[in-house]
Amino acid sequence: MDVTLSNTEVIQGIQLISRRWLNLQEYQSKKLMSDNGVKVQRFFVADTANDALEAAKRLNAKEIVLKAQILAGGRGKGTFNSGLKGGVHLTKDPKVVGQLAQQMIGYNLATKQTSKDGVKVNKVMVAEALDISRETYLAILMDRSCNGPVLVGSPQGGVDIEEVAATTPELIFKEEIDIFEGLKDSQAQKMAENLGFHGALKTQAADQIKKLYNLFLKIDATQVEVNPFGETPEGQVVCFDAKINFDDNAEFRQKDIFAMDDKSENEPIENEAAKYDLKYIGLDGNIACFVNGAGLAMATCDIISLNGGKPANFLDLGGGVKEAQVYQAFKLLTADPKVEAILVNIFGGIVNCAIIANGITRACRELELKIPLVVRLEGTNVQEAQNILNNSGLPITSANDLEDAAKKAVASVAPK
Ligand code: GDP
Ligand code: MN
């Protein structure tokens, strides 16, 4: 069978996976970078047009760059629902900064990486603009296929890197890093050269690459992406943009960074879910999915689609689950009026299925659940869980496997 995912479904999938990680705005990433010797422009952050104007005056720069802060790339080419085009603007006049900020703050910015409604802008970054003579691309990321960090770069920066990789793959350079030996001088030099930096600029670029690598390690990042990693006519190598992803397993030793997590772009229901250690993603179908793990969530989405249905949302339950969490999960799932059926698909590895079953029966009774509920449990203590469900006297449909569960859930809702 052939499934074609729409662009929004792909974006939702990416969101589902990436919400598992902490997200920082560009200005927060740049603060970390400048604190660690990485070269970024002088900047202020503002959340009103008036503050943006004041910041622009205070910068006292020859030229100013105003940048909408959202957790998505492609802002430069984005559009606001205020009508303003472009989430990145250059101007010499602080007054213009105020006027532009007025058309950014409080409005939604849609880019290639957001849904078509875009994301509401709460903050703008007001930075000293620098002339750029050349834009390159640089990233450091944890790469499964290399079993460790890898440096990725291209002399073709500023633009969509996926496009460079697709059209001119010979312009993408990789340098595997041995995590025990660290990034070697020679590797940083080689990357700087591949990026097209020469002479004193090459030394400077290599130094910046090393500082970025040290930061990558220090903050437990899974990715540091700088696009553009640029060169100025005055002979400076500058990180003009920054996106950092973090390893959420490192939260215990990165408390200061995790405290900066910008949740303002989440849906209120996502934040409500987070209170109970649940991860919620809203979609636009009518079958609510209660699963554990992002991988199982994606598989559940696929199999519902394959059987002609559409998921309404996902609630991802972590390990170490408590009965009360299951109750909260059901409350959140059923709060969405689009939901016409619930599909529970839990694989009990760390999770004890009996706890889930008890949570489900309690939620059904207390919430007086009126919509069809299909449950597929597998793994630890599954027999006891089945008994709890079967003896509950509640109209719960049990499923043998994922395929069976998806079929039953799809059959239980009106065709859309
Ligand atoms: P993105 O569109 O979300 O990736 O945002 P960027 O921060 O990368 O900005 C988009 C583009 O604006 C960059 O690729 C640059 O071409 C341009 N830009 C950003 N900052 C400056 C600056 O200080 N000076 C100049 N001349 N261009 C800039
Ligand atoms: Mn960029």
Name the residue of 43, 70, 88 whose CB sits within 8 Å of the most ligand 1 atoms, as the mutation to test its pocket.
88
Q: What percent of the chain stands above pLDDT 90? A: 72
Q: For residues 72 and 241, what is the distance between their CA atoms, to the nearest angstrom?
A: 12
* Nearest in space to 363 (alpha carbons), one of 286, 290, 282: 290
**Which domain-ending residue is among 128, 156, 191?**
128
Residue 34 lies in a domain: no
- 327 among known catalytic residues: no
Q: What is the CATH number of the domain that holds 192?
A: 3.30.470.20
Residue 65 Cα distances to 42, 89, 128, 197, 370, angstroms: 10, 6, 6, 24, 54
- The predicted structure's pLDDT at residue 10: 55
80, pLDDT greater than 90 = yes
Residue 142 lies in a domain: yes
195, pLDDT greater than 70 = yes
Q: Tens of pLDDT along 251-290?
A: 999 999 999 988 787 778 888 888 888 888 888 899 999 9
Q: How many CA atoms lie within 13 A of 215 on its CB side?
A: 28
Q: Quick one: pLDDT band at residue 3, thresholds 50, 70, 90?
A: very low
Residue 7 lies in a domain: no
Q: Quick one: pLDDT band at residue 323, thresholds 50, 70, 90?
A: confident
Cα(56) to ligand 1 centroid in Å equals 17
Q: How high is the mean pLDDT of the chain? A: 91
Catalytic annotation, pick one of 26, 135, 175, 225:
225
Mark whether 228 and 277 lie in a shared domain: no
- The predicted structure's pLDDT at residue 180: 95
Q: For residues 266 and 107, what is the distance between their CA atoms, to the nearest angstrom?
A: 15
**Which domain-ending residue is among 207, 226, 259?**
259
Q: What value does the mean pLDDT take over residues 327-338?
A: 89
Ligand 1 atom nearest to 76, measured from its CA: 2
- The predicted structure's pLDDT at residue 9: 55
Mark whether 71 and 164 lie in a shared domain: no
**Which domain-ending residue is among 128, 159, 185?**
128
Cα(57) to ligand 1 centroid in Å equals 20
Reply yes or no: is the peptide bond before residue 228 cis, omega within 30 of 0. yes
Mark whether 143 and 116 lie in a shared domain: no
- The predicted structure's pLDDT at residue 20: 53
12, pLDDT greater than 60 = no
350 is in an annotated binding site: yes
- The predicted structure's pLDDT at residue 54: 98
Residue 8 lies in a domain: no
Q: What value does the mean pLDDT take over residues 388-396?
A: 92
Q: Tens of pLDDT along 81-126?
A: 999 999 999 999 999 999 999 999 999 999 998 888 999 999 999 9
41 is in an annotated binding site: yes
153, pLDDT greater than 90 = yes
Ligand 1, pocket residues at CB < 6 Å: 41, 65, 67, 73-76, 88, 90, 129-132, 135, 158, 227-228, 240-241
- The predicted structure's pLDDT at residue 18: 54
Q: Tens of pLDDT along 211-228?
A: 999 999 999 999 999 999
Strands 108-110 and 79-80: antiparallel
Cα(50) to ligand 2 centroid in Å equals 26
Mark whether 339 and 281 lie in a shared domain: yes
Q: 102: burial class by Cβ within 10 Å (0-12, 13-18, 19+)? A: middle
Mark whether 295 and 408 lie in a shared domain: yes
Mark whether 173 and 305 lie in a shared domain: no
Find the Cα–Cα–Cα–Cα dihedral 296, 299, 305, 310, rounded to 10°.
20
405, pLDDT greater than 50 = yes
- The predicted structure's pLDDT at residue 151: 97
Q: What is the CATH number of the domain that holds 105?
A: 3.30.1490.20
Q: Please count the structural domains in the chain.
A: 3
66, pLDDT greater than 90 = yes
Q: Quick one: pLDDT band at residue 8, thresholds 50, 70, 90?
A: low
Mark whether 78 and 162 lie in a shared domain: no
40, pLDDT greater than 90 = yes
For residue 264, the Cα-to-chain-centroid distance in whole angstroms is 13
Nearest CA to ligand 1 atom 26: 131
19, pLDDT greater than 70 = no
Q: What percent of the chain stands above pLDDT 70? A: 94
Mark whether 360 and 292 lie in a shared domain: yes
Look at 145-154, 270-279, 295-304 and tell me which has the smallest mean pLDDT: 270-279
Q: Quick one: pLDDT band at residue 248, thresholds 50, 70, 90?
A: confident
182 is in an annotated binding site: no
Domain hosting residue 241, numbered range: 134-259
- The predicted structure's pLDDT at residue 13: 58
- The predicted structure's pLDDT at residue 71: 92
Residue 119 lies in a domain: yes
Mark whether 282 and 398 lie in a shared domain: yes
- 137 among known catalytic residues: yes
Residue 169 lies in a domain: yes
Residue 329 lies in a domain: yes
16, pLDDT greater than 70 = no
End-to-end Cα distance, the chain: 20
Nearest CA to ligand 1 atom 13: 158
Tokens standing for residue 227: 């696009």
CB atoms within 5 A of ion ligand 2 belong to: 227, 241
pTM of the predicted model, to two decimals?
A: 0.79
Catalytic annotation, pick one of 137, 213, 276, 327:
137
Q: What is the CATH number of the domain that holds 276?
A: 3.40.50.261
